[in-house]
Structure 1
């Protein structure tokens, strides 16, 4: 029973420590995985597993190791932000794998990338014909970015000289039936205004699951009662 309690406490401590470390390292570490991020993630994961499950090791020693390694990872990240040379060594550089519509086989061999992988990445960007590609670059996070040839680029409103209305960032007003007061205050809106807008649509706040002011300024309300007799349910 003592071992179970010890493992439980160590697991809780490991979870809390990793949440704190993740917050310190920042969102960018989660969203993109460079060489440095990959090494830090793998090592911290192994050390956290030891803190949680390896009861033969002193918990405080493992915790000190985790904090020390996290400090090193943070220091390297801070230095990389200030020095392009260190950033290139730590994170690597983007690699061009297609130039002027031609595949650079030598770069692909250095990256150990196959044509199957390249074609898969292009298909994920809705490009099924490789002749549409002008440039393709393997970024630091392992994803491929593509510049299409001019004749394959989509037409924009600017190309057609069409007028465009001003857009703003969408503002969530209600989520899970709860009014998001902070968003209302930040956008100089009041709960009374929101209630009146809901009433004008024959709704009470309690009827609404989700409400958002979209980029064009229009309000969208999604009610709990969808009034769909036979909703689609594919398992």
Structure 2
């Protein structure tokens, strides 16, 4: 067999082996790496390259080494899942860098982080002053997480006492001008519904770069032509307005009638509708 063909086949075999091992080890191998995962990644990559280029007869031993490294890494990950002590020993623990707005210089030296690097990392968490940071910790992965002081935390509806409706994962139903049937079926819709919604806003599916449906079955589209403005969905606003109109009509009927029994009935209906409106307002208001 010619050398170029043999190297080609070995390289393809190494790629397949490397892919299978990485697939077995899971997504942690391609995310933030621990000490051991860092060593494993470098070694497995080097072994794969060596196996594809080694011209000796026993090149297949490189695949054996790949398998051993993969098995050891898998065993280490399994041990980390089962044992807190093993996680602390292999990955080490998080290191506190800032506490109550004060930088812990000894911990910075321990992790070999300069002041500039610390400031860069907290700026990445939208903290531009050390005094605004209540707590900052360096995780075993090397990432720095920051807890801002209470007065610097962003406001949320909960802080303001506002109740909001639940939000579920939006489904992408159009991508690159093509309808995605599986996401549509996931939310109990079909192509007929989607085509009707597209007709309402006056666009065709071929002109849609991306289309998503939220948990309230409202369609949001992004067109290839960014100059075309698409009206925002108004399903929730329209429904809320219709309920408010019903409330006003019932109040009007109650004022217009001379029948005391009918008046009481309308007043009771208004109270029940107001209770319903109070419940659905968080769901129908953005």
Structures share fold, TM-score greater than 0.5 = yes
SS in structure 1 of the partner of residue 158 of structure 2 = coil
Q: Deviations over 1:78-102 (max 9, x none)?
A: 1110111111112111111111211
Question: Is the CA contact 1:177–1:210 (under 8 Å) kept in the aligned structure 2?
Answer: yes
What does residue 224 of structure 2 align with? 224
Q: Deviations over 1:117-172 (max 9, x none)?
A: 10110122222211111111001110100011112111211111223122111211
Distance in 1 (CA, whole Å) between partners of 2:17 and 2:99 is: 45
Distance in 1 (CA, whole Å) between partners of 2:215 and 2:44 is: 40
Question: Is the CA contact 1:93–1:139 (under 8 Å) kept in the aligned structure 2?
Answer: yes
What does residue 19 of structure 1 align with? 19
Deviates more, 1:137-146 or 1:125-134: 125-134
What does residue 205 of structure 1 align with? 205
Matches within 5 A, 1:15-164: 15-56=15-56, 58-164=58-164
Displacement after TM superposition at 1:196 (Å): 2.2
Distance in 2 (CA, whole Å) between partners of 1:127 and 1:13 is: 48
Q: Deviations over 1:194-219 (max 9, x none)?
A: 22222222222222221112466532
What does residue 257 of structure 2 align with? none
Question: Is the CA contact 2:212–2:221 (under 8 Å) kept in the aligned structure 1?
Answer: yes
**Judging changes above 3 Å, is the alpha-carbon distance between structure 1 residues 194 and 163 closer, same or farther for their aligned structure 2 residues?**
same
Question: Is the CA contact 1:171–1:183 (under 8 Å) kept in the aligned structure 2?
Answer: yes
What does residue 179 of structure 1 align with? 179
**Judging changes above 3 Å, is the alpha-carbon distance between structure 1 residues 88 and 159 closer, same or farther for their aligned structure 2 residues?**
same
Question: Is the CA contact 1:168–1:216 (under 8 Å) kept in the aligned structure 2?
Answer: no
Distance in 2 (CA, whole Å) between partners of 1:26 and 1:41 is: 12
CA RMSD of aligned residues (A): 2.0
Please tell me whether Structure 1 or Structure 2 has the larger radius of gyration of its CA atoms: 2
Q: Deviations over 1:38-88 (max 9, x none)?
A: 111111111111123333473321111111110110011011101111111
Q: How many equivalent pairs are there?
A: 228
Unaligned stretches of 5+ residues in structure 1? 229-235
Unaligned stretches of 5+ residues in structure 2? 229-286
What does residue 165 of structure 2 align with? 165
What does residue 233 of structure 1 align with? none
What does residue 6 of structure 1 align with? 6
What does residue 189 of structure 1 align with? 189
Distance in 2 (CA, whole Å) between partners of 1:227 and 1:158 is: 37
Question: Is the CA contact 1:96–1:137 (under 8 Å) kept in the aligned structure 2?
Answer: yes
